[in-house]
């Protein structure tokens, strides 16, 4: 019986993180409506979506943790201003990570080299380390 409860709670964690990533991508879609910020928003959403999805592999979540995440999702779903959405794109992942005891910026290591590119940092993409070469 314990194994079944544990498996269900692990499944709940995955479901919660799927909701987190979906809400985060929705926030990104709103932010992308600011034409001058499109690339910034796209890079940010790509980087943090992967980091948020990686949090699904941790221990089961408590009822309190799930409630905190649901409140954070509800908060970003009220955002209508694209500029405010952009502000929350860098905040929301950290709120979620704090709620579940994870880290969305942990041990990222150096950014992967760009094929055919130089060893110099990509000045156009401040999130290269977060992307971990997953472009």
* Chain mean pLDDT for the chain: 80
23, 29 in Cβ contact below 8 A? Answer: no
Banded model confidence at residue 57, pLDDT cuts 50, 70, 90: confident
CA distances, 18 to each of 2, 22, 45, 135 (Å): 24, 6, 14, 21
Helix (H) or strand (E) holding 6: helix 2-31
Taking residues 90-105, report their average pLDDT. Answer: 92
Question: Is 127 within 8 Å of 43 (Cβ atoms)?
Answer: yes
Q: What is the domain range of residue 6?
A: 2-131
Would the pTM of this model clear 0.85, i.e. be above it?
A: no
Alpha helices for 32-132 (secondary structure H): 38-54, 63-77, 82-100, 128-131
* Residue 68: both structure tokens together: 């905190």
Q: How confident is the model at residue 113 (pLDDT cuts 50, 70, 90)?
A: very low
Q: Read off the pLDDT of residues 4-55 as tens digits, 9 standing for 90 and up.
A: 444 455 579 999 999 999 999 999 999 999 999 999 999 999 999 999 999 9
């Amino acid at each position: 019986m314990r194994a079944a409860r544990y498996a269900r709670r692990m499944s709940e964690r995955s479901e919660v993180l799927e909701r987190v990533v979906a809400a985060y991508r929705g926030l990104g879609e709103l932010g992308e409506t600011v034409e001058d910020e499109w690339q910034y928003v796209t890079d940010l959403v790509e980087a943090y979506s992967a980091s948020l999805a990686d949090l699904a592999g941790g221990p089961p979540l408590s009822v309190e943790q799930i409630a905190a995440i649901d409140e954070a999702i509800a908060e970003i779903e009220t955002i209508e201003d694209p500029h405010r959405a952009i502000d929350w794109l860098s905040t929301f992942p950290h709120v979620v990570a704090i709620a579940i005891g994870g880290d969305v910026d942990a041990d990222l290591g150096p950014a992967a080299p760009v094929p055919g590119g130089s060893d110099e940092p990509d000045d156009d993409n401040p999130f290269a380390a977060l992307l971990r070469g997953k472009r």
